Amino acid sequence: MPRGRRRITPARRRLRPRRPSEQPDGAGGFLPACSAAGSRGENRVRAGISIDPAVKIAGSLGRMTDPAHRFESVPAVRDALAKVDYLADDGIAGVVYLADRLGKPVLIEGPAGTGKTQLAKSVAEMSGARLIRLQCYEGLDESKALYEWNYKKQLLRIQAERKDGATWQEVEDDIFSDDFLLTRPLLEAIRAEDPVVLLIDEVDRVEVETEALLLEILSDYQVSIPELGTVMANQVPLVFLTSNNTRELSEALKRRCLFLHVDYPDLDREREIVLAKVPGITANLADQVARIVRSIRQLELKKPPSVSETLDWARTLLLLGVDQVDAATAVGTANILLKYQSDIAKATKELEQDASLGGEAASGAGAKPWQRNA
């Protein structure tokens, strides 16, 4: 490159001066002249993309339609969830039904491990929809959640077309097209042609600034891309957001969603969950597991056992050949349920004093079941 000439890269596009061929569009933006065949404006109209962000996507991306409702009634939702081994009450089934009918996202809050994420997975499974998941974390930004440009591929195309004598305007028309766009989960869900369920998991982990990126999607089901325009959804996807309440979410986000709180299940429902999720377990053992876990949750713990940990404990008891849980077995396997030593110590004291489990009379209390059987 000759000295004194400034290198042109895709990143400089937003700062370029207005070209004479551009005319005001009357709304504060500029539209390129489309008199020549194959010009930039004409190409983008054929692709269903408009440079003016106020113009909605049409053409190959289609327009958002109102598909037939997925669910007929609240009991139908509950029964369909039960067929995929998710035991929902009328409250959960009702919110899923309304989310489909109203076309609104669902914000699910509650303690960790109570089945919030599994609800979205089960809804996708029972409806035959594709699950698209965005796992939130601190530092998540637009390039990982929405989209980014494939800059390496753009630079290669710039070099190739410059060798062929193409002008910068011709190069620019090409590199900011759909072929160079890397879609991330949010944009992928918006552009999907097939039915999808979008799961935005642990949304409370992201910063407030990143949370603001979701507002346009959750309210209008569209994404604005400065270089392309506004991409509207072909259909209204089912959207589930989960939160463990590690921080307070903004009112703007909550206002756009239906709210659902999923707490620890009651005794009967947890027993049914164990029977449904743990093949081979007896009704008596499932009842004991549910009762012991419920009593442990009533203690003041750093982290009460979740439903997933209850299932892990039930599977552990089956693997150890336990038919009847006594104090020694419960104490020896407490580390499956609890993950803090202080919690294990509190639970051990409670279990050793539980008369229904044999209390302190059980020999070998505190030893692991596999050690006592050795």
pLDDT per position as a tens digit, 187-242: 899 888 899 999 999 999 998 888 888 888 888 888 888 878 888 888 889 999 99
User: Under a CB-based contact definition with an 8 Å cutoff, are residues 69 and 88 in contact?
Assistant: no
Given the candidates 3.40.50.300, 3.40.50.2300, 1.10.10.10, 1.10.40.30, the CATH classification of the domain at 74-141+191-261 is 3.40.50.300
- How open is the CA angle 322-326-329, to the nearest 5 degrees? 60
Q: Rounded distance, CA 41 to CA 144, Å? A: 29
Task: Say if residues 228 and 43 touch (Cβ distance below 8 Å).
Answer: no
Segments making up each domain of the chain, as ranges: 74-141+191-261, 147-183, 267-360
Residue percentage of the chain with pLDDT more than 90 = 47
Name the β-bridge partners of 149: 181
Exposed e or buried b per residue across 224-258, where buried means at least 16 C-beta atoms within 10 angstroms of its C-beta? ebebbbbbbbbbbbbbbbbbbeeeebeeebeebbb
DSSP state letter for 64: -
Do residues 290 and 267 touch, judged by C-beta distance below 8 A?
A: yes
CB-based contacts of 91: which residues, under 8 Å, 6+ apart? 260
- pLDDT tens for 284-297 read 999 999 999 999 99
Residuewise pLDDT in 10s, the chain (374 residues): 444 433 333 433 333 333 333 433 433 333 333 333 333 333 333 233 333 333 333 333 333 444 568 899 999 999 999 999 999 999 999 999 999 999 899 999 999 889 999 999 999 999 999 999 999 998 888 888 888 888 888 788 777 777 777 666 667 666 777 788 888 999 899 888 899 999 999 999 998 888 888 888 888 888 888 878 888 888 889 999 999 988 899 999 999 999 999 999 999 999 999 999 999 999 999 999 999 999 999 999 999 999 999 999 999 999 999 999 999 999 999 999 999 999 999 999 998 887 677 655 444 444 444 344 43
Chain-centre distance for alpha carbon 18:
41
- Look at the block and give the residue holding tokens 């959804």: 233
Angle between helices 341-352 and 283-297 (to 10 degrees): 120
pTM of the model: 0.72
Q: Which of 155, 227, 222 is nearest to 9 (CA)?
A: 155
